[in-house]
Amino acid sequence: MKYRYLAAILGAACGTLAALPALAGPTLDAVKARGEIVCGVNTGVAGFSAPDSRGEWKGIDVDICRATAAALFGDAKKVKYVGLTAAQRFTALQSGEVDVLSRNTTGTLTRDTSLGLNFIAPNFYDGQGFIVAKKLGVKSAKDLGGATVCVQQGTTTELNMADYGRANKIAFKPVVIEKVEETVATFFSGRCDAYTADASALASVRSTAASNPDDYVILPEIISKEPLGPMVRHGDDQWFDLVKWSFMAMLEAEEYGITTANVDEMLKSNDPNVKRILGVTEGMGKALGTSEKWAYNIVKQVGNYGESFDRNVGANSPLKLDRGLNALWTKGGLMYGWPIR
User: Which of 329, 312, 176 is closest to 248 using CA atoms?
Assistant: 329
User: Which of 120, 33, 73, 27 is closest to 294 using CA atoms?
Assistant: 73
Q: Is 47 a residue that touches another protein (CB under 8 A)?
A: yes
Span near another protein by CB under 8 A; candidates 52-60, 68-76, 146-154, 163-171: 52-60
Smaller CB separation from another protein, 57 or 125: 57
Q: Is 318 a residue that touches another protein (CB under 8 A)?
A: yes
Please tell me the distance from the alpha carbon of residue 234 to that of residue 257, in angstroms, as a whole number.
34
Close Cβ partners of 17 (under 8 Å, ≥ 6 residues apart): none
Smaller CB separation from another protein, 163 or 215: 215
Query: Of residues 184-213, which lie at the interface with another protein (CB under 8 A)?
Result: 204, 207-209
- DSSP helix/strand/coil, 170: coil
Please tell me the distance from the alpha carbon of residue 231 to that of residue 198, in angstroms, as a whole number.
21
- DSSP helix/strand/coil, 163: helix
Q: Is 156 a residue that touches another protein (CB under 8 A)?
A: no
Total residues at interface with another protein (CB under 8 A): 40
Q: Is 33 a residue that touches another protein (CB under 8 A)?
A: no
* Helix (H), strand (E) at residue 119: strand 117-119
Query: Of residues 159-178, which lie at the interface with another protein (CB under 8 A)?
Result: none
Q: What is the smallest separation between the CB atom of 52 and another protein, expressed in angstroms?
A: 7
User: Which of 59, 37, 34 is closest to 49 using CA atoms?
Assistant: 59
Smaller CB separation from another protein, 46 or 258: 46
> Applying CB under 8 A, which of residues 82, 136, 267, 280 lies at the interface with another protein?
82
Q: State the Rg of the chain over Cα.
A: 23
Q: Is 121 a residue that touches another protein (CB under 8 A)?
A: no
Query: Of residues 213-252, which lie at the interface with another protein (CB under 8 A)?
Result: none
Please tell me the distance from the alpha carbon of residue 278 to that of residue 264, in angstroms, as a whole number.
10
Q: What is the smallest separation between the CB atom of 208 and another protein, expressed in angstroms?
A: 4
Q: Is 80 a residue that touches another protein (CB under 8 A)?
A: yes
- The torsion defined by the Cα of 167, 170, 175 and 177, in degrees rounded to 10, comes to -20
Q: What is the smallest separation between the CB atom of 181 and another protein, expressed in angstroms?
A: 8
Q: What is the smallest separation between the CB atom of 225 and another protein, expressed in angstroms?
A: 25
Please tell me the distance from the alpha carbon of residue 153 to that of residue 176, in angstroms, as a whole number.
5
Give the footprint of another protein on this chain (CB under 8 A).
17, 20, 23-25, 43-47, 50-57, 80-85, 87-88, 91-92, 94-97, 181, 204, 207-209, 317-319
